[in-house]
């Protein structure tokens, strides 16, 4: 297990970086049928945290969760996380509040802190191992093309390998799981 | 906010801790709430509050006055 030296952080996150990322995320969200939190100051504070985690870990770990520093262990909490859509459906916001429901944007609903849906460390480890075993088994028995599912937005595609970037929500290849 | 309320407090940035220190801090949080959620706030060493629920914290402090 490798951990980056957290003391070696040097760069401050600049306002320009935050604003640029905010605009980009806002545009991507709207194109994909999602909504950034309309409280711009709050949202930019979260984005600053994301950028900081990007520097610290090399990936955008959720700013409201504790990242391990090991990408493979944190795949489910790389923003947008695997729990975003289900939390928005149930609580009108994702865990950290970066993304919200359309009702929040319209002012019909308000956001508040929500319970953590992410399973604990042992449970996640168990699930990862089960998934790996299942995928290994299927590789030897399935001759036809596998179907890959984006764990963030649910996009499905049948091809030898998952795409490098999800064409719908833009997350990376390692966020896909073998669906069939 | 605790400063404004005149409440004594201490805090730990768990994400900035390393190795064993972080494990111990996480174990302490799990002991209080059974989950890993940030911020985890412990009031008077007995009541635990998950997430920054500003109004709830203010209510709690008002009631004590």
Output Rg (C-alpha) for chain A, integer angstroms: 17
Q: What pLDDT is attached to residue B4?
A: 86
Domain membership of residue A43 (yes or no) is: yes
Domain boundary among A56, A89, A105: A105
CATH code at position A38: 3.90.460.10
Find chain B residues with C-beta within 8 A of A112's C-beta: 51, 53
> Which residue, chain included where needed, has tokens 């480890």?
A125
Structural domain that includes position B21:
2-64
Q: Does residue A72 belong to the interface with chain B, where contact is any CB pair within 8 Å? A: no
Domain membership of residue A118 (yes or no) is: no
Domain boundary among A105, A123, A155: A105
CATH code at position A143: 2.20.28.10
Answer yes or no: do A3 and B53 touch at CB < 8 A: no
Q: Are A69 and A57 in contact, with CB atoms under 8 Å apart? A: yes
Domain membership of residue A148 (yes or no) is: yes
For residue A131, give Cα distances in angstroms to A45, A123, A177: 35, 12, 9
Q: How many CB pairs under 8 A join A and B?
A: 31
Q: Are A34 and A99 in contact, with CB atoms under 8 Å apart? A: yes
From A6, which residue of chain B is nearest by alpha-carbon distance? B16
CATH code at position B18: 3.40.30.10
Instruction: Based on the fold, state whether residues A76 and A144 are members of the same structural domain.
Output: no
Across chain A, what does the average pLDDT equal? 90
pLDDT higher for A54 or A12?
Answer: A54
Q: Residue A52 corresponds to which tokens in the numbers above?
A: 């900081």
This complex has an ipTM of: 0.74
Domain membership of residue A140 (yes or no) is: yes
Answer yes or no: do B51 and A113 touch at CB < 8 A: yes
Domain membership of residue A126 (yes or no) is: no
Instruction: Based on the fold, state whether residues A83 and A25 are members of the same structural domain.
Output: yes
Q: Minimal CA–CA distance to B15: which of A46, A48, A57?
A: A57
Residues 6+ apart with CB under 8 A from B11: none
Q: How far apart are CA A98 and CA A104, in angstroms?
A: 12
Q: Residue A103 corresponds to which tokens in the numbers above?
A: 């009702």
Find chain A residues with C-beta within 8 A of B52's C-beta: 113
Domain boundary among A90, A105, A120: A105
Q: How far apart are CA A46 and CA A29, in angstroms?
A: 15
Q: Does residue A168 belong to the interface with chain B, where contact is any CB pair within 8 Å? A: no
Domain membership of residue A117 (yes or no) is: no
Domain membership of residue A154 (yes or no) is: yes
Q: What angle do CA A80, B26, A115 make, to 5 degrees?
A: 45
Q: Which of the residues B12, B13, B14, B15 would you substitute to probe the A interface, choosing the one with the greatest number of A C-beta atoms within 10 Å?
A: B15
In this prediction the pTM is: 0.78
Question: Residue B38: phi, psi to the nearest 5?
Answer: -125, 135
For residue A118, give Cα distances in angstroms to A58, A115, A127, A148, B40: 21, 9, 12, 22, 16
Question: In this predicted model, what pLDDT tens digit does every residue of A62-82 receive, in sequence order?
Answer: 999 999 999 999 999 999 999
Q: How far apart are CA A94 and CA A109, in angstroms?
A: 14
First to last CA, chain B: 16
Q: What pLDDT is attached to residue B18?
A: 87
Q: Residue A125 corresponds to which tokens in the numbers above?
A: 């480890």
Answer yes or no: do B15 and A67 touch at CB < 8 A: yes
**Bridge partners, A61 (sequence order):** A78
From A5, which residue of chain B is nearest by alpha-carbon distance? B18
Counted domains in chain B: 1
Mean pLDDT of B25-29: 91
Structural domain that includes position A70:
14-105
What is the least distance, in Å, from the CA of A81 to any CA of chain B?
15
Q: How far apart are CA A46 and CA A80, in angstroms?
A: 12
Counted domains in chain A: 2
Domain membership of residue A155 (yes or no) is: yes
pLDDT higher for B57 or A18?
Answer: A18
């Amino acid at each position: 297990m490798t951990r980056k030296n957290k003391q070696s952080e040097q760069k401050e996150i600049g306002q320009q970086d935050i604003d640029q990322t905010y605009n980009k995320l806002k545009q991507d969200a709207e194109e994909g049928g999602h909504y950034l939190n309309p409280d711009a100051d709050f949202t930019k504070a979260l984005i600053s945290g994301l950028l900081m985690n990007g520097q610290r870990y090399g990936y955008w770990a959720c700013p409201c969760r504790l990242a391990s520093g090991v990408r493979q262990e944190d795949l489910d909490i790389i923003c947008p996380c695997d729990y975003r859509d289900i939390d928005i459906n149930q609580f009108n916001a994702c865990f950290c509040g970066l993304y919200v429901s359309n009702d929040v944007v319209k002012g019909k609903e308000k956001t508040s802190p929500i319970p953590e849906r992410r399973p604990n460390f042992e449970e996640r480890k168990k699930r990862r191992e089960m998934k790996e075993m299942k995928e290994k088994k299927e590789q030897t028995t399935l001759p036809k093309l596998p179907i890959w599912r984006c764990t963030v937005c649910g996009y499905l595609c049948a091809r030898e390998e998952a795409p490098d970037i999800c064409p719908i929500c833009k997350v990376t290849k390692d966020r896909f799981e073998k669906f069939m | 906010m605790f400063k404004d309320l005149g409440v004594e407090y201490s805090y730990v940035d768990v994400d900035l801790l390393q190795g064993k220190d972080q494990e111990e801090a996480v174990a302490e949080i799990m002991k209080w709430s059974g989950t890993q959620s940030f911020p985890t706030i412990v009031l008077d060493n007995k009541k635990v509050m998950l997430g920054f629920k500003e109004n709830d914290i203010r209510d709690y402090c008002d009631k004590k006055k």
